[in-house]
Structures are given as structure tokens and as C-alpha cells.
Structure 1
């Protein structure tokens, strides 16, 4: 860490930061799609159970997302200000907090697991399967927290090759165990449990590799314990983390509510849940690239604002936002013609396939809006202005999307198509609000003061 990272905003520097993250997001996309695909080959009940379980797992990860968002802001801004000692303090705090919260959240979720699934509309065999999967999936949470925080540290220092290599290795192990455990007779009629144990093994390997890589690069040291700096270092990290965490709760809880709305639909609720879960994973093929742009934007904007280059931060943010939206819209346009093939790949059930296509149709149309919102959210995190994300996502999800999804799904269409239409409408409004904040509000003033 003695060598100061390159914080250039040249095309070469940004491309070097971006392309490994794009590849890494596609690898993660494969990891997200693989268990849903495997579940789709088993039954609609397994698809629904795993989809809801994984969505709840994402909801529990909001603390991890929050801490990592705060860490990205303060570490990248400290690097931009050429204060590497302060950056190192934030690295230590980030890893410590993620380890503590990973264990705590997992324990609490296990204690209240019965109450959690009682609220989500799963019925019969799907509910029984979800309870079994959940008990194992929760054990992977602390490992996931640590691995994700390690990747954030590397990204903040613009070291993106290490995370890419580690993610590829973890993906290879994950796929191996999915096929080894889930398509054999190892669990004697409960092959779906192979999906949960594969996730646990993969996350454990990921945490170990992430820790070894941090030690190898010198980003953590057993002899360096900056407890005296906690009082000074914590407030800014926690402020950004609080806003990002609240945004994640708003977003993930909103998706869980959408699952519940679909689960209580009068027609084909379990098949619609399977279609929603599978369609969401296919959509991530596009959305993950937006996440890569999101993460790059947060680091570059943080570097610029840390170095007091406000105009450059605005310019780079706009370039990343609109170039990312343009590229991903082209990809969505190409995939539009293969929706039926994608649905057939994800499930053998005819009704589930129908709802996958319905989901993809409206979410492919929303691609430019969802990508713009995603990258702008990264810009706001890098500027320590994540409260704008909270306000806009909260409004678009809970004031517009949820009520509209319930009305259209239960009273107008009568099936999940109404829910998917509501998602498109809310994305358009959300993007309009983001653009207003970017061009009309001074969001750069919230960065660290030096």
C-alpha cells in the first residue's frame, strides 16, 4: 500500500478499471443463474422456493451492501486526497464490521425463519422446500459479507484483476458442486439441497481466497490495529452506509413485497413466482454490466472529489452513465429476439416459461432507464450523497411500483403481467428524478472535507 494508486480519469485508466469488473459481473451472473436454472429443471415448487429464499438472502445482505458503499466512498476519496493512512484505517474498519454483522444477521435470520416465510405466499411443498434451503443458505452469509468487503477494498484501490481471478475460481467450484450434488442421488430425493450446500461451499472458498489476497497485497496487517482512530473514522463511513443501507432495504424489501404480491395472485401464483425468479436472473445478464459501471463510477467520482476536481467528477459521471445505458440498450435489443429460448433454457414448465417471457418483455423495455438509475446511484455513493438514492428509490418503489403492481396484478390483468408493467412505469419515473438531481442539485458538496 505504500505505492499510491493511479487515479487518472483518462479513457485508458477508466477502461482498465471497467473491463475486469464487467467480466466479473458476468461471472457473478452465471453464479446467480446456475442455481435458478438447476431448480427450474427440478420443479415449479423448487423454482419458487429457491427464488424466494435467494431474494430474502439478498434482503439480509443490505448491511453488507451498506457498509461496502460507505467504504467505497471514504476509501476512494481518501486515495484521491492522497491520504493512504486514512484509507488503511477505513479498510480495517470495513472488514471488522462486515465480519461482526455477517454473523449477527445470520443468527437473527435463523431464529425468525418461521415468521419470514409465513409472510411470502409460498404454499404446500414450495414452503417446505424453502424452509430446508433457508437453514443451510444462512450459514453462507458471514462468508459472503467478508468476500464482498474484500472485493470492495481491491476495487477502491483500482486493483480489479485480483477480484476477477478469485471470482472465476469461485464460480468454477460453485458450478462443479451444483452439478455434482444436485443432479445425483446424494440427497436421496431431496436434490434441491445440493443447491444450498453448493452455495455454502462456494462462499467459504470465496472468503478464504479474498482474505489471502488482501494479506498478499499488504492491505491488512495483524500488527496494525487503528482503534484510536475509530472515533474520527467511523462517522463519515457510517453516514454513507446508513443511507445506502436504507436504500438497499427499501429496494430489497420492495422486491420481497413484489414476490408476496405475485404469491397471492388469483392465477398461477407458484408458476408466476418461478417465472419472476428466473426472469430476474436472466435480466441480470444485462443489469450486472450496469453494476460494473455503477462500481466504477463510485470509485472514479470519489477519487475526483477527494482531489477537489469537481467539474471532472461531473463530466466523467455523465460519460459513464450515458455510455453504459447505450451499450446495454443495444444488448437488450438483441436479446429481445431470444426471450422464448431463454425461457425454455431456464425452465421445463410451460407456464413458468410464459411468465419468464412476460417478465423479460417489460424489463428489456426498461433497460435504458434501469441502467441510468443504477449508474447514477454509484455516482451518488462515490460523492457521499447516497441520501438522494434513498429518497428517489423509496419514492419510485413504495409510492409508485408497489401500489401499482398490486392494482394492475390483482384487479386489471389478474396475473403477474400487471406486476411487470408496474415495474416498467416506476423505472421511467425513477430515472427522471435521478436526472433532475444530477443536473439541478449540488451533489458534490457532500464529499469528505480535508
Structure 2
């Protein structure tokens, strides 16, 4: 069922979209937490392998998130303008693009991942574990991308509940598959770290069927036949113009994690493992921000198509106010529970100490992420995705490389230099978004105000 996001009261629409999305991403994060916990039971080396794999794995996530953002913007704008035929055409192109991009990404990843892990400081023993995990993930890349694109179609219609249900059920399925595939049994051999990845791929294969069925039931493809599933260059090119910059924006996050992991590896495997665990915990606190990001994108896309500038600006204001309230509560919990949260994942005292120090500082960064996310989402919704690219390049690459290199190799500071650099860079990006991002938004949707 499509929500009319051009007339529904903004607070109500935000709740209808953001709450299911936040709950879904809660279970996605818990899914990753389960993987991290089971990897920690194998060995610290396995935990470090998953931490090193995350920036490489993020390439898959960046492609999926970016291309799906472009699809949501195009489909949402068409729905807002009342052109369901064009919206259906975009939906078909989104599914075809997901399949093609997944195959290309998988083949590229299999070829390049050994060199990437060596760059991240993996020795030969840890390299084997990293490749066992990521080679399996790259083989399942088409399923990952199809899940993202099917969800993009549903999200453009205001439906975030089906994806939420998929993520909830996948979490419970993963709790069963992880120990089974890791340790073996019932006719399966013990697969260790490879089993963690195989469980993830299995859940996404099931997601292709579940969300694909949701797209079919939504009615957007009601009059489409098999012969209609072919490349339409005009629509595909338009979607790529929106999706590729968004994909690169998400890719900068993965590259940023790559940069952080590269410099953290100078402090040893305990530092790398601590950051991997701490970021899982941080992601839990940021779940409301993810929901606000999704709702801001969907609302701005439909209202931009309908030409309702006042609702776009009201959406941004509401997201920023709501985000401030929720992040204040989340920050308090992260600060107060930093040590026990880290200890829940590992008995290694060094890992707990390093990760808790990061979390206590991260508690004061959470709202900065909200400011960046919702401004970038609003601009993506009005088809101005390049702002996110420039903010991402500065926040994730240029500034971290300069500051980290200064502190680690020139001034020879301890690991706290890395944590404080992240704090300073993220708040600088938030300030940049609040000033320049909002100025671009006003100029596009309300030229008189600009």
C-alpha cells in the first residue's frame, strides 16, 4: 500500500516510516552483533578478521545503499507527481540494476580483496580468515543488491514494514545458522569464520524472495509482464545519475572505516578488535538516526515531485528536533554503560578498555551524525546528491588522513588522538551541513527564501 506523503501530517508520516525502519535496522545491527559475538567465541583472531573485513564488506553495503537511494528518489518523485507508469518503469530498472551490479561487484571483490586485506595489516594467518569470510560474501553479492533494490521500491511508497519484518526474522534465523555453520552438525562440516558469512548469504537469499514478493503485492508492477523486464536506457541513466553519487557517498563511509582501521592497526589487533565491537554498539545508538534518514528521503522525494517546498523544509526541521531529543537519551546510555557493553562481547581486558574509551567520547558525537544524515537525505530526495559526496570525501578521507597521519606517525600520539580526531571531524561536518547543505536546499525548493 502506498502512503500519500504529500498530504499526510509530517509528524505522523515520519513515525509511519521511521519507526519500522529503526526497528528493522535495530535487528540488522543485532544481526551483526550476533556475528561479532560468535566470531569472538572462535578466537580474537577471528574477531579481528571480522573487524578488518568490515570496511571491505562496506563496499557491498555502499553499492546497495547508494543505488537504492537513487531508486527511491526517482520512484518517489514520480509517485509524488502522480505518474505511476514512470514509477513502475523505474522500479523495473531498479531490480535489473541490482542484479547486474551484484554480479559485477562480486567478481571485482573476489579479485581485489587479498590486496585490500594486506593493506589493512593482515598477516598471513589472519588473511586466510579474512578471505574465508569475504569471498563468501562476494559470492552472495547479487542477493544483497537485489534485497536493497526491492526495498528501495517499497520505501519510495512509504512502506518500511516489510523490510523491518525481513530483518527481524533474519536476526532469529541467523541465531540458528551461525552456530550451526560455525561448528557443524546435521550433515554439515564445521566451517568456522566462513560459516558466519554463509549464514548471512543464506538470510539474504531468503530476503530476495520475501521482498520481491512484497514488490509484487504492492501493485506498482501490476501491469508489467516478463517482456517488460528489459533495460530502458533513459530511465536507467536517470537512476544512475542519482544513485552513483549516493553510492559514492556511502562508499566514503567504508573508505573512512578502511582509513581508521589502517591507522588503528599500528596499535595492534586489540585496537582493531575494540573498534569493530564499539562501532556495533554505536550503531545501536544511531538507529533512530537511520529511521529519520529513511523518512526524510521518502518524504522529500514525494513532496519534491509534488512541488511542495513548505513540506520539504518542515520535514527537515522536524527530523532535526526529534533527532536531538532521541540522541540525548542514547548518548547518556552509551556513556554510562560503555564498559559493560564492551565486556559483553569479549573477555579481553585490553579490548574492553580501548573500546570503552571510544564509546564515552562517541556519546557526544551522536547528534552530529543526525545533522549530517538528514541534510544529505533531504538533498538526495530533491535530486541533489553531490553535496553528500563532498561532505563524505572531506569527513571520511581528507581530514582523517591528515589528522591521523599527523598524530600517529609524526607526533606519535596514543590511540586517544584517533578518537578525538573523529569527534572534531564529525562535528565540523555537521556544522558544514547545517550551513551549506541547508543553503542549497533552500535555493532549490524555495528560491524566494534563498
Q: TM-score, normalised by structure 2?
A: 0.92
Q: Following the alignment from structure 1 to structure 2, what is the Cα–Cα distance between the partners of residues 225 and 183? A: 45
Aligned length: 443
Is the CA contact (8 Å cut-off) linking 1:409 and 1:417 kept in structure 2? no
Task: Report the alpha carbon displacement of residue 417 of structure 1 after superposing the two structures with TM.
Answer: 2.5
Partner of 1:400: 399
Partner of 1:114: 114
Name structure 1 gaps, 5 residues minimum: none
Task: Report the alpha carbon displacement of residue 224 of structure 1 after superposing the two structures with TM.
Answer: 5.9
Partner of 1:30: 30
Is the CA contact (8 Å cut-off) linking 1:383 and 1:443 kept in structure 2? no
Task: Report the alpha carbon displacement of residue 140 of structure 1 after superposing the two structures with TM.
Answer: 2.1
1:63 counterpart SS class: helix
Is the CA contact (8 Å cut-off) linking 1:384 and 1:446 kept in structure 2? no
Matches within 5 A, 1:17-96: 17-96=17-96
Alignment CA distance shift 1:411-1:42 (3 Å): farther
Q: What does the per-residue CA deviation read over 1:335-356, in whole Å, with 9 as the maximum and x for residues that have no partner?
A: 2111000010111211111121
Is the CA contact (8 Å cut-off) linking 2:309 and 2:445 kept in structure 1? no
Partner of 1:210: 211
Matches within 5 A, 1:48-197: 48-182=48-182, 191-197=192-198
Q: What does the per-residue CA deviation read over 1:247-276, in whole Å, with 9 as the maximum and x for residues that have no partner?
A: 22222112112111111x1x3x11111011
Task: Report the alpha carbon displacement of residue 289 of structure 1 after superposing the two structures with TM.
Answer: 2.0
Q: Following the alignment from structure 2 to structure 1, what is the Cα–Cα distance between the partners of residues 165 and 244? A: 31
Q: Following the alignment from structure 1 to structure 2, what is the Cα–Cα distance between the partners of residues 127 and 254? A: 21
Alignment CA distance shift 1:114-1:6 (3 Å): closer
Alignment CA distance shift 1:54-1:396 (3 Å): closer
Task: Report the alpha carbon displacement of residue 74 of structure 1 after superposing the two structures with TM.
Answer: 1.0
Q: What does the per-residue CA deviation read over 1:345-391, in whole Å, with 9 as the maximum and x for residues that have no partner?
A: 11121111112112212222211111211122211111111111111
Q: Following the alignment from structure 1 to structure 2, what is the Cα–Cα distance between the partners of residues 4 and 312? A: 15
Partner of 2:300: 301
Matches within 5 A, 1:256-271: 256-263=258-265, 265=266, 267=267, 269-271=268-270
Alignment CA distance shift 1:445-1:228 (3 Å): farther
Alignment CA distance shift 1:379-1:181 (3 Å): same
Name structure 2 gaps, 5 residues minimum: none
Alignment CA distance shift 1:38-1:291 (3 Å): same
Partner of 2:199: 198
Partner of 1:253: 255
Q: Following the alignment from structure 2 to structure 1, what is the Cα–Cα distance between the partners of residues 121 and 269? A: 9
Identify the range of structure 1 (11-20 vs 182-191) with the bigger mean alpha-carbon deviation: 182-191
Alignment CA distance shift 1:358-1:413 (3 Å): farther
Q: In the alignment, is residue 384 of structure 1 matched against residue 383 of structure 2?
A: yes
Alignment CA distance shift 1:114-1:446 (3 Å): farther
Alignment CA distance shift 1:191-1:433 (3 Å): same
Is the CA contact (8 Å cut-off) linking 1:251 and 1:397 kept in structure 2? yes
Q: Following the alignment from structure 1 to structure 2, what is the Cα–Cα distance between the partners of residues 229 and 54? A: 33
Q: Following the alignment from structure 1 to structure 2, what is the Cα–Cα distance between the partners of residues 428 and 9? A: 33
Task: Report the alpha carbon displacement of residue 55 of structure 1 after superposing the two structures with TM.
Answer: 2.3
Is the CA contact (8 Å cut-off) linking 1:401 and 1:426 kept in structure 2? yes
Partner of 2:274: 275
Partner of 1:332: 331
2:140 counterpart SS class: helix
Alignment CA distance shift 1:133-1:93 (3 Å): same
Is the CA contact (8 Å cut-off) linking 1:99 and 1:146 kept in structure 2? yes
Q: What does the per-residue CA deviation read over 1:386-415, in whole Å, with 9 as the maximum and x for residues that have no partner?
A: 111111221222221222123224454644
Partner of 1:428: 427
Is the CA contact (8 Å cut-off) linking 1:396 and 1:427 kept in structure 2? yes
Task: Report the alpha carbon displacement of residue 227 of structure 1 after superposing the two structures with TM.
Answer: 7.3
1:346 counterpart SS class: coil
Is the CA contact (8 Å cut-off) linking 1:243 and 1:386 kept in structure 2? yes
Q: TM-score, normalised by structure 1?
A: 0.92
2:42 counterpart SS class: coil
